[in-house]
Amino acid sequence: MLKGSPTLLAATAIAFGLAVTPAVPASIRHVSEYDISLGLLPIARASFASEFDGGSYRIAGSFKSSGLVNLFTRVSANTKVSGAVSGRRLQTSSYSLVYTQGKKTRVYDVSYRNGSVVSTTIKPEPGTRPDTWVPVSPEDLRSVMDPLSGLIFPEGSQVCPTRLPIYDGESRLDLVLSAKGSKPFSTQGFKGDTIVCEVRYEPRSGYRKGRSDIEFLKKQRMEVWFAKAEGANVYAPVYARIPTRVGDVYVTAVKYGG
């Protein structure tokens, strides 16, 4: 459940910690916290601090497994993103992820220019790829988003339906969002209606073709709820349901702002 590419769980969970874009050219700090559970069983927590200063932004977040998961393996992740606010989207300049599972740690660093990837490093470097590996092409790295900034929608942009091209330092994928109406949501820092999107996962490259967890996820329909951050013209996730072969994983904001 917690094995494999960080995109499938850790980076997915991290993506829900994103915060706000300033409505005025002044520094704004936003802190959000999320509980992550498998059904009713708590399995992880995530926390994030975002700072926006005029046209630039920085996001720092952490993810740690907990509860039953730690009986089998401990999973943690730390991430940092920096970039610029460009019109109705965030445009990344650098993205990093330190992903640890048990005693193994892998570090991803990606640099962007004008929305496209210019360099990627992975330490330690991956071993020999299998014959079923789908390599990432130069075309796959054009006009892409990091897993964090991709799920921030300034007011006026189309939340869903839309297609999000994501690159996490190893895998290139699309998240396809379709509208499913609205639902009420309440947590510390927010109470009101959310925009509900159905989400499909479409792998493009940077993965092993035929891998069972990816094949499973391709057939599923995830759900993400987006809430408007108070005092900022932006929508970000406050709730998600992610199907897995052992049950649904839920990501729920227990604090949104402040």
pLDDT at 39 over 80: yes
DSSP-derived secondary structure for 103-117: TEEEEEEEEEETTEE
Q: Is the peptide bond before 237 cis (omega within 30 degrees of 0)?
A: no
Quick check: 163 and 145 in contact, CB under 8 A? no
Phi, psi of 69 (to 5 degrees): -60, -40
Q: Write out the H or E segment, with its range, that includes residue 98.
A: strand 89-101
Name the maximum alpha-carbon separation found in the chain. Answer: 51
Going by C-alpha positions, the residue among 80, 123, 119, 120 that lies closest to residue 105 is: 123
pLDDT at 161 over 90: no
Q: Is residue 192 part of a domain?
A: yes
Question: pTM for the whole thing?
Answer: 0.87
Top pLDDT among 131 and 229 is at: 131
Q: What is the pLDDT of residues 82-92, one digit of tens each?
A: 998 777 788 89
Q: Is residue 1 part of a domain?
A: no
How far apart, in whole angstroms, are the C-alpha atoms of residue 149 and residue 80? 11
**How many domains, the chain?**
1
Going by C-alpha positions, the residue among 143, 112, 152 that lies closest to residue 22 is: 152
How far apart, in whole angstroms, are the C-alpha atoms of residue 106 and residue 168? 13
Q: Is residue 135 part of a domain?
A: yes
Structure-token match 């998961």, residue found: 69
Contacts with 248 (C-beta within 8 Å, 6 or more apart), sequence order:
38, 39, 241, 242
Q: Is residue 174 part of a domain?
A: yes
Q: What is the pLDDT of residues 230-242, one digit of tens each?
A: 766 678 899 999 9
Going by C-alpha positions, the residue among 122, 51, 38, 39 that lies closest to residue 80 is: 51
Range of the domain at 202: 6-256
Q: Is residue 239 part of a domain?
A: yes
Phi, psi of 148 (to 5 degrees): -85, -60
pLDDT at 23 over 70: no
